[in-house]
Every structure is written in structure tokens, then in C-alpha cells.
Amino acid sequence: MKPPTVQPASPVASVDGSAALRFERVALVGKYHASGSREALEQVVHFLHDQGCEVTLERETAHHIGPLGDGTRDVAGIGAHCDLALVVGGDGTMLGIGRQLGPYGVPLIGINQGRLGFITDIPFDRFADILHPMLRGAYEEERRTLMHAGVWRDGHGVFETIAMNDVVVNRGGAPSMVELRVEVDGHFVANQRADGLIIASPTGSTAYALSAGGPLLHPAIAGWVMVPIAPHTLSNRPIVLPSDGEIVIEVVAGREPSAHFDMQTFTSLLPGDRIVVRRSVHTLRLLHPVGWSYFDTLRRKLHWNEGVAT
């Protein structure tokens, strides 16, 4: 598979010579648990209306903060009706909606109201200046790989979902390790005794996998990162695997183990359960301002070269 690439788009000129709107029907998704979220979303709605956009509020967001814009729709409705989704919040908000909208092909733009903002990269205090040209086609598009994961029990699928960041199998609350058998493309890799195991996408390599000692993986690389969590055998190290294969994690032993998907959905596991991870047929479309750089994001968020003039 050809690695995903960043593609610039050119503004489309209107008949009067100004740049015409490329995105007229915009969905708005908010971090509704945060204080001040309604006021922030109201500012975005007013801005979008001033640009001539029809604004649809995502249904769960509307349920928590009340009606805004021109109506509400669920994810399927947004996928069928909207040209663009604006996510106002942090990376967690983007994860929650991104893996749901990915199959519909709706592009997303992230306005950062959180702490890190690896994939919500537009500062809230500058959103109007940055969004104005983007709504008219001046943006760069990036496609991020998604993960398809399922849990199999006694030969039957009992759970499946899409993840953007990672699939994590870990021990329960008891102070004991979980034992896992790992296969890649049908080939036995190892039995691991650890607190757990992370399979992360390039997007997720800056999340839990990084905290567990895994490497950063550029989004253009078609690979997964497999990272053990506090392994019993210290020679069990992170490894980068091709994303076009199949990873199977079988639960050999453990007290109340569980599987987490983007740390937002989870399922309880039993000994003998097999967690199967493959590359999804869908990708996530992220739009960035012209001139955006993944390395600029890393440098800002990880505080590289602090004190060095740039």
C-alpha cells in the first residue's frame, strides 16, 4: 500500500474574484464536558454563519449543551449530509468522533481546547484567521490509517470496532501480570508476561505507546508499533510491524483482563479470547492549515529545542 501523503488544495475562485466556500455544510463537535464549552461553540457558530455556512451540531454535543446552529444530526446524518466536521476540544474529542466519521469520508479539522493537541492543531484563540482560508480550499489534507479490531471467543466474533490510536490489552485491578500469546500473520512471535500490550497506529505512537517507551512513528509510515507494558522479561522490547498484516493477541492467563480501544471503549476478556487487529479499509481525512508540518507539531508539543531560536 502506498503510504498516506499530505496533499495541498487550491482555493476555488468565485465569479466576483474572491475565494468561494468549498465547505458549505459544516458539522460541529464539542468537548461538552469542559467548562465554557458552550460559549466556545457559540463563537465558532457565529463565525461559520458569517462565512455563509450551514452549521449542524452533532447530536451528543447538542444533548449536553443545548441547541446551536441550524439543527442537529447523529454521526450517520453528518456522514450523509455534511462536507466538513469541525472538532472543538482536545485529542480525546477528535478520537471519539474521528473513528466514527472515518468510514463516511468526511474530512475533519481540529480546534484545540485541550492540553496536548497532536491532532487538534488549530489554537482556539486564532481559529477565525486560520479557518477563513481553509473553508475556501487553502488547506493541506492528510490521511491517517485506522485500525479494525475484534475480539473472538470460541471461534465467534463477540466485539468489533475501529480505533485511531491504539488497541490495548491489559491486566485487571489485581496486582498480577497477564500472559499473552502474540502471532503476526499466523506466525508465533512470543508469549509475554506483562501488565499489558499496546498495538498503536502512527497516530497513537504519541499517546500511551510513547509513555510506555515506544518509538514515534511518522504518520506516512504504513506500520504499527507493538509495545509491552512493564514486561516481566526486560528483553521484550517495542517493535514496528507492517500494517498490512494481522496481529493476534491471545489471552493465556490473567485475572480480569480487558481490551481497550482508544482508551474510550473496552470489553472484558476471558482466557482463550483472541484479539485480532488489522488495518481498516477506511482512513481518516485530516485537514491542516497550509504550511503545516508534523515535525513542527512534535517540536511544540514535546518541547524540543526549548531555548533555541527558530
User: 113: exposed, middle or buried (C-beta count within 10 Å: 0-12, 13-18, 19+)?
Assistant: buried
**Shared domain check, 153 and 51:** no
**Shared domain check, 131 and 53:** yes
3-state secondary structure the chain: CCCCCCEEECCCECCCCCECCCCCEEEEEECCCCCCHHHHHHHHHHHHHHHCCEEEEEHHHHHHHCCCCCCEECHHHHHHHCCEEEEEECHHHHHHHHHHHHHHCCCEEEEECCCCCCCCCEEHHHHHHHHHHHCCCCEEEEEEEEEEEEEEECCEEEEEEEECCEEEEECCCCCCCEEEEEEECCEEEEEEEECEEEEECCHHHHCHHHHCCCCCCCCCCCEEEEEEECCCCCCCCCEEEECCCCEEEEEEECCCCEEEECCCEEEECCCCCEEEEEEEEEEEEEEEECCCCHHHHHHHHCCCCCCCCC
How far is the C-alpha of 274 from the C-alpha of 232, rounded, in Å? 21
Confidence of residue 308 (pLDDT cuts 50, 70, 90): low
Neighbours of 228 (CB within 10 A): 25
Q: Which of 103, 135, 167 corresponds to the end of one domain?
A: 135
- Mean pLDDT for 32-41 is 82
- Mean pLDDT for 127-142 is 97
**Shared domain check, 177 and 61:** no
Asked whether residue 8 carries a pLDDT value surpassing 50, the answer given is no
Q: Which of 135, 159, 188 corresponds to the end of one domain?
A: 135
**Shared domain check, 253 and 184:** yes
**Shared domain check, 157 and 260:** yes
- Asked whether residue 308 is domain-assigned, the answer is no
pLDDT tens-digit map of 58-82: 999 999 888 888 999 999 999 999 9
Active site residues: 91
**Shared domain check, 156 and 131:** no
- Asked whether residue 306 is domain-assigned, the answer is no
Is the model more confident about 54 or about 35?
54
Cell of 191: 508469549
Domain with residue 124: its CATH number is 3.40.50.10330
Asked whether residue 7 carries a pLDDT value surpassing 60, the answer given is no
**Shared domain check, 239 and 155:** yes
- Asked whether residue 78 is domain-assigned, the answer is yes
Asked whether residue 172 carries a pLDDT value surpassing 90, the answer given is no
Tell me the residue range of the domain where 75 lies: 21-135
pLDDT of res. 71: 93
For 132, list phi and psi in degrees, rounded to 5.
-50, -55
Question: What's the mean per-residue pLDDT of the chain?
Answer: 90
Work out how many domains the chain is built from and give that number: 2
User: 26: exposed, middle or buried (C-beta count within 10 Å: 0-12, 13-18, 19+)?
Assistant: buried
For 80, list phi and psi in degrees, rounded to 5.
-85, -25
> 32-41, 79-88, 107-116, 278-287: which range is least confident on average?
32-41
- Asked whether residue 290 is domain-assigned, the answer is no
pLDDT of res. 303: 86
- Asked whether residue 198 is domain-assigned, the answer is yes
Q: For the CA atoms of 3, 187, 256, 202, what is the dihedral angle to 10 degrees?
A: -10
Confidence of residue 18 (pLDDT cuts 50, 70, 90): low
How far is the C-alpha of 130 from the C-alpha of 149, rounded, in Å? 35
- Amino acid letter at 242? P
- Asked whether residue 196 is domain-assigned, the answer is yes
- Asked whether residue 10 is domain-assigned, the answer is no
Domain with residue 194: its CATH number is 2.60.200.30
Asked whether residue 6 carries a pLDDT value surpassing 80, the answer given is no
**Shared domain check, 267 and 183:** yes
**Shared domain check, 174 and 104:** no
- Asked whether residue 180 is domain-assigned, the answer is yes
Q: Which of 135, 167, 182 corresponds to the end of one domain?
A: 135
CA distance readout (Å), 241 to 69, 205, 223, 225, 275:
44, 13, 5, 6, 16
Asked whether residue 1 carries a pLDDT value surpassing 60, the answer given is no
**Shared domain check, 169 and 101:** no
Q: Has this prediction a pTM greater than 0.85?
A: yes
- Mean pLDDT for 267-285 is 96
pLDDT of res. 309: 53
Confidence of residue 249 (pLDDT cuts 50, 70, 90): very high
**Shared domain check, 124 and 101:** yes
**Shared domain check, 127 and 170:** no
